[in-house]
Structure 1
Amino acid sequence: MIKHKDHFHGSDLEKIEEIYGIKKEEIVSFSANVNPLGVSPLLKHTLSDQIDAITSYPDREYTSLRRCIAAYCGTETENVIVGNGSTELISLFIQVEHPKKALVIGPTYSEYEREIALGGGTTLYYPLREADDFKLNVEDFLSHLNESIDLLVICNPNNPTSSSIPRSDMRHILDVCKQYDIYVMVDETYVEFADNMAELTAVPLTNYYNNIVILRGTSKFFAAPGLRLGYAVTGNRDLIKSINTRKNPWTINSLAVIAGETMFTDSAYIKETKSLISSERARLCKLFNKNPDFKVYDPSANFVLVRILREDLTSQDLFDRAIRQKMMIRDCSTFPFLDNKYIRLCFMKPEDNDRLIRCLFH
Structure 2
Amino acid sequence: MIKHKDHFHGSDLEKIEQIYGIKKEEIVSFSANVNPLGVSPLLRTALSEQIDVITTYPDREYTSLRKCIAEYCGTEYENVIVGNGSTELISLFIQIEHPKKAMVIGPTYSEYEREISLGGGTTLYYPLREKDNFRLDVDDFISHLNESIDLIVICNPNNPTSSCITRTEMRHILDACKEHDIYVMVDETYVEFADNMAEISAVPLTNYYNNIVILRGTSKFFAAPGLRLGYAITGNRDLIKSINTRKNPWTINSLAVVAGETMFRDTAYIKATKDLISSERARIYRTFQKSPDFKVYEPSGNFMLIRILKDDLTSQDLFDRAIREKMMIRDCSTFPFLDNKYIRLCIMNPEDNDRLLACLLR
TM-score over 0.5 for the pair? yes
Q: TM range, normalised to the smaller chain?
A: over 0.9
Correspondence 1:355 to 2:355: yes
Query: How far apart, in 2, do the equivalents of 1:343 and 1:211 lie?
Result: 34
Q: Secondary structure at the match of 2:105?
A: strand
Unpaired runs of 5+ residues, structure 1, are none
SS in structure 1 opposite 2:226? helix
- Give the CA deviation at 1:3: 1.4
Partner of 2:103: 103
The aligned counterpart of 1:287 is 287
- In structure 2, C-alpha distance between the alignment counterparts of 1:243 and 1:166, rounded to whole Å: 28
Aligned to 1:223: 223
Runs of 4+ off more than 6 Å: none
Encode CA deviations 1:53-109: one digit per residue, 9 max, x unaligned: 000000000000000000000000000000000000000000000000000000000
Match in the other structure for 2:10:
10
1:29-108 superposed matches below 5 A: 29-108=29-108
State how far apart, in whole Å, the 1-side matches of 2:211 and 2:334 are: 31
Cα displacement (A) at 1:153 = 0.1
After TM superposition, the structure 1 = structure 2 runs for residues 90-169 of structure 1, keeping only pairs within 5 Å, are: 90-169=90-169
Normalised TM-score (structure 1): 1.00
Q: Does 1:239 align with 2:239?
A: yes
Deviation at 1:4, TM superposition (A): 1.1
Q: CA RMSD in A?
A: 0.3
> Is the partner of 2:72 in helix, strand or coil?
helix
**Which amino acid counterpart does residue 293 of structure 1 have in structure 2?**
D
Q: For 1:311 and 1:5, how far apart are their aligned partners in 2? A: 23
TM-fit CA distance, 1:327: 0.1
Q: Which residue of 1 aligns with 2:195?
A: 195
Q: Compute the TM-score of the two structures, normalised by the length of structure 2.
A: 1.00
Tell me the alpha carbon deviations over residues 1-48 of structure 1, each in whole angstroms, 9 at most, x when there is no partner.
111121000000000000000000000000000000000000000000
Identity %: 85
Structure 1 CA distance for aligned equivalents of residues 143 and 3 of structure 2: 26
Q: Secondary structure at the match of 1:226?
A: coil
Which amino acid in 2 is paired with 1:96? I
Give 3-state SS (helix, strand or coil) of 1:250's partner. Answer: coil
CA distance in structure 2 between the aligned counterparts of 1:77 and 1:320, rounded to whole angstroms: 47
Q: Quick one: distance in 2 between partners of 1:30 and 1:97?
A: 35
What is the identity, as a one-letter code, of the residue corresponding to 2:18?
E
User: What is the aligned partner in structure 2 of residue 213 from structure 1?
Assistant: 213
Using the alignment, how far apart are the partners of 1:83 and 1:2 within structure 2? 28
2:298 aligned partner: 298
Amino acid at match of 1:251: T
Residues 162-177 of structure 1 correspond to what in structure 2 (within 5 A)? Answer: 162-177=162-177
Letter in 2 for 1:80: V
Give the match for residue 267 of structure 2. Answer: 267
> Following the alignment from structure 1 to structure 2, what is the Cα–Cα distance between the partners of residues 150 and 350?
44
Cα shift at 1:350: 0.2
Size of the aligned set, in residue pairs, is 362
